[in-house]
Structure 1
Amino acid sequence: MSTTTTTQYHTTTTRQAAATKDISSAPTVPSTLNYYASPPDNSPPYTVVETREHNYGQDTEAVEIHDLRGFESVPTLDVNGFMFDLSAPSFTHTDFFDKAGTQNTDFIQNEYYPRVQEAVKRLTGGAKVVVFDHTIRHPNSNRPPVERVHIDQSLRAARERVQLHAGDDRDFAEPYVSAKKRFQIVNYWKPLSKVTRDPLAVADARTIKPENLVGVQHRYPNRTGETVGVKYDPTHQWYFLKDMDVTEAMLIKCADNKDQVIAKQIPHSAFTLPEQTGDGRESIEVRTLVFFD
């Protein structure tokens, strides 16, 4: 009992000490990010999910991206819109793929999903965590790292996700859709090997303005969702964690229906490191709905 108390006290005091650090003072690396540019004919922007066809453009801008090594415990989901899990499940490529290179779906759903649910619940304080999909990104596949600033769901699409994954339990979904109760969409992003190229950058929620965000139709074969494109703003501040390894993960808040919270939707993107080396980045992102009582 005393050991647990000591550990909890140490964790609390460590986070309190970390909170006094300003992440904007972390060192930076130069790079570029690809922002959203409106369709040339000013028509509504869209992406066709199956083909990746889209009608909007790209605005490439030079940026400085802060390296949060030494600041890992500082960011929080409700202030910055992202945080780190420094005790992530240490699974690697061989756990997620069989010898033929096919995704091991049984392992992912039966072994990894519950670990993600446990971690997200612990780090968010949510009462219930539901996994609704995942994506594995690796080189020489049709799902490489996305080098485009974006948010996975708009707030409208997030509410639709609640309805979609509630199934027939409308009594459960209604208070979340109507904002009587709080829910979030949180991505749990983890590398499958040490990241030496194309790392993931996230923006600080405090630097994102509503006018920076543009809804983009996300056209599935049987329905249309909505993602978010992001317009360039020189006041944006960007962050990443250098050399992330398999025991580290990043939580990214894509949606939050609570009004009195700073961080509601967090842009993110892969980017190129100066003089990066090594094989292409491998990672898995698991998308979760987090429900609060």
Structure 2
Amino acid sequence: MTHTIAATVRYLAPTWRYTDEIPVIADWATLTANTVEHMVPVHDAHQTECDVETTGFQRLPHTTTTDFRDPAAVEHSYLPEVADVVQRHTGADHVIATHHFARWGDPGDFEAGYAPFLHGDKPLADPAAYSWARVDHLDVPLDRARTWDFAWYNTWQPIDHPATRDPLTFIDARTVAPTDLHPYTYDGAGEQHQETVPSHSRAHRFYYFPDLPTDELVLFKQLDTRPGHTPTCLHSAITTPVAPMTPLRRSIEVRWLCAFHS
């Protein structure tokens, strides 16, 4: 059965499209001021060929017994498990988890809730410089005598029950033009950094995985220094039509730095 739904997503407000100024999106007030809503059709991703290096996102199997309420178990069990999944799928020589966050269902909290607008989690300007700066910051032991490429990925996996309510939607990366992408400043937990937000285009095609189960995850792209590879996969939480007692989505997301030597 094909599930195509109508959902509201937030894009960068048109006033920012033709300016060199960089908007701030960091709380409900700046979100409302600097983004606009659009109603879009969101298609069932099970009905199309998805690959992280073309569409920008892909569903993969992963079963875990990790107790996500135990931070030590996440660090010592879940992250190594998923690092193996990412390494096998991407062929990276090094895979490093740089950040993870478990969401327990608090949509009213801007920081801890569900991301309510379309975005990419990395800046797209000079991806090599950004990646090397993070390698140095994280003290990743790379042989500087070799040539390295970098790709950044996210993984997203439901916790406790399928992600029926408030799932993520992904824009097919093949439908996004470079001119659609703009930097914005996120100011979270007292730390400012740049990420990416799109302006609206009728060409964008949206997908989601209805009722994604707890034994699957989605791998999706954030940044890449390799030519010919998907540069980023824009995503957002969306509201879907569900039964009134459907539980809020619980999930864990991890950001991965992958290094490839040539």
Superposition TM-score tier, normalisation by shorter sequence: 0.7 to 0.9
Q: Give the one of 146, 149, 153 matched to 1:186.
A: 153
Verify the 8 A CA contact 1:91 1:246 in the aligned structure 2. no
Deviating above 4 A after TM superposition, structure 1's stretches of 4 or more consecutive aligned residues are 168-171, 173-176, 220-223
**Separation in structure 2 between the aligned mates of residue 185 and residue 246 of structure 1, nearest angstrom:** 23
Residue 44 in 1 paired to residue 19 in 2?
no
Partner residue, 2:84 = 118
Return 275-284 or 201-210, whichever deviates more.
275-284
Runs of at least 5 residues in structure 1 that lack an aligned partner in the other structure: 1-25, 98-103
Verify the 8 A CA contact 1:138 1:145 in the aligned structure 2. no
TM-score (norm 2): 0.84
Partner residue, 1:133 = 99
Verify the 8 A CA contact 1:138 1:281 in the aligned structure 2. yes
Partner residue, 2:124 = 155
* Matching of residues 94-243 of structure 1 within 5 Å: 95-97=67-69, 104-140=70-106, 142=109, 143-156=112-125, 159-167=129-137, 172=142, 180-192=147-159, 193-219=161-187, 224-243=192-211
Task: Kindly indicate whether structure 1 or structure 2 has the higher relative contact order, using CA contacts under 8 Å at least 6 residues apart.
Answer: 2
Q: Secondary structure at the match of 1:54?
A: helix
Cα displacement string for residues 99-141 of structure 1 (whole angstroms, at most 9, x for unaligned residues): xxxxx21111111110111010011111110000111122237
Q: Secondary structure at the match of 1:196?
A: coil
Q: Give the one of 256, 274, 281 matched to 2:241.
A: 274
Q: Secondary structure at the match of 2:39?
A: strand
User: Larger C-alpha radius of gyration, 1 or 2?
Assistant: 1
**Separation in structure 2 between the aligned mates of residue 52 and residue 174 of structure 1, nearest angstrom:** 43
Identical pairs, percent: 25
Cα displacement string for residues 72-116 of structure 1 (whole angstroms, at most 9, x for unaligned residues): xx3111111111112x13347xx111xxxxxx2111111111011
> Offset of 1:216 from its aligned partner?
0.8
Q: Which amino acid aligns with 2:116?
A: E
Residue 284 in 1 paired to residue 258 in 2?
no
Verify the 8 A CA contact 1:166 1:173 in the aligned structure 2. no
Flag the 1:33–1:220 CA change in 2: closer, same or farther, 3 A: closer
TM-score (norm 1): 0.76
C-alpha RMSD of the superposition: 2.7
Verify the 8 A CA contact 1:39 1:45 in the aligned structure 2. no
Runs of at least 5 residues in structure 2 that lack an aligned partner in the other structure: none
Cα displacement string for residues 178-210 of structure 1 (whole angstroms, at most 9, x for unaligned residues): xx5221110011000211211111111110011
Verify the 8 A CA contact 2:12 2:35 in the aligned structure 1. yes
Q: Which has the higher helix share?
A: 1
